[in-house]
Amino acid sequence: MTSSQSAIALTATQAAWLAELGIDRKLLATLADTSALFTSARIAPGAGVTPVNVPSSGQETSASKRTDAAVGSPPMHRAPVQSVAQKLAATQPVDASPVQPVRRVDLPADLALLAQTVAGCQACGLHAGRHQTVFGDGQTSAPHWMIIGEAPGDHDDHLGLPFQGKAGELLSTMLAAAGILPQASVFYTNLLKCRPKGGRTPRADEIQACLPYLQQQIALVRPSGLLVLGWQAAQALVGQRASLDQLRGQVHRYTDRGVDIPMVVTHHPASLLLRGQYKAAAWQDLHLARAALAA
Ligand code: SF4
């Protein structure tokens, strides 16, 4: 028995999964220090892009045009009113502004222009907390797979690239172990293009606001198949309010504007880092995805 096995109790399934990946729990815990093992020749779609501001109607102007009704009032009456307003403003989350759903019909039919539009998007309050939008990364023309997560992580938000950090490293390892990489070409993106502050769960209205960007990406990139990671992205693309367990283990069809491609959903690698008991299911899903594209 090795020292790592003696330190961590593993089920037979977990041990088999980790052995399949060529890692043990000790290595998993140090993935942050091993990113060089998983570097890939990804492109940065947002590089060199000039952000285009797309202000929501009514935002900003309502605040900037507001007149101070208390002008001319004695200072002793005005001070308490301002203090209350400031306190209320301070209690509002920075991403709580009204959502203005993106209209698919308004989106450009060119991927670079779509990236510019996303870079300037303020359609939902998530724009207030982002460092930058995360549009996508990888082969932009007819890749084998488009891999879709839920929302940018902390590293993604800073780098402008999806699937960075430990979750991205585990994803790369899983794809290689399942025989999908390096043979297959991949475009990586997320359901949401901005990171929710603190990594909170995105709200339904935020998902609905951002979904047209993803739909337009799929239409323009034209992948052969979709691999969807996490229950929120799965629900949005399958179009069913169901648990991940109900949605995984089968091949769905994604159909939209002439696109008709297989779609497999599975656990998000960030979830697998916390819940190792799902790795066997993810392993099965990746093999299902590989078989779906080979069929
Ligand atoms: Fe726009 Fe999507 Fe970012 Fe919201 S999450 S501001 S809809 S790009």
**Do the beta carbons of residue 205 and residue 99 sit within 8 Å?**
yes
d(CA 203, CA 271): 19
Give which of 241, 240, 288, 261 is closest to 145, Cα–Cα: 261
> Atom 4 of ligand 1 has which residue's CA nearest to it?
124
Which residue type is seen at 268? H
pLDDT of residue 294: 87
pLDDT of residue 9: 52
Strand 137-138, strand 186-190: pairing = antiparallel
pLDDT of residue 96: 61
Q: Is the CB of 195 under 6 A from ligand 1?
A: no
Q: Is the CB of 133 under 6 A from ligand 1?
A: yes
> Atom 7 of ligand 1 has which residue's CA nearest to it?
210
3-state secondary structure of 101: coil
Tokens describing residue 42: 């990804």
Give which of 220, 213, 214 is closest to 234, Cα–Cα: 214
Q: Is the CB of 111 under 6 A from ligand 1?
A: no
pTM for this model (two decimals): 0.70
pLDDT of residue 60: 31
Distance 131 CA to ligand 1 centre (A): 12
Per-residue pLDDT of the chain (295 residues; tens, 9 = 90+): 444 444 445 444 444 444 444 444 444 443 333 333 333 333 333 333 333 333 333 333 333 333 233 323 333 333 444 444 344 344 445 556 678 889 998 999 999 999 999 999 999 999 999 999 999 999 999 999 999 999 999 999 999 999 999 999 999 999 999 999 999 999 999 999 999 999 999 999 999 999 999 999 999 999 999 999 999 999 999 999 999 999 999 999 999 988 999 999 999 999 999 999 999 999 999 999 999 998 7
Instruction: Report the nearest atom of ligand 1 relative to the CA of 127.
Output: 6
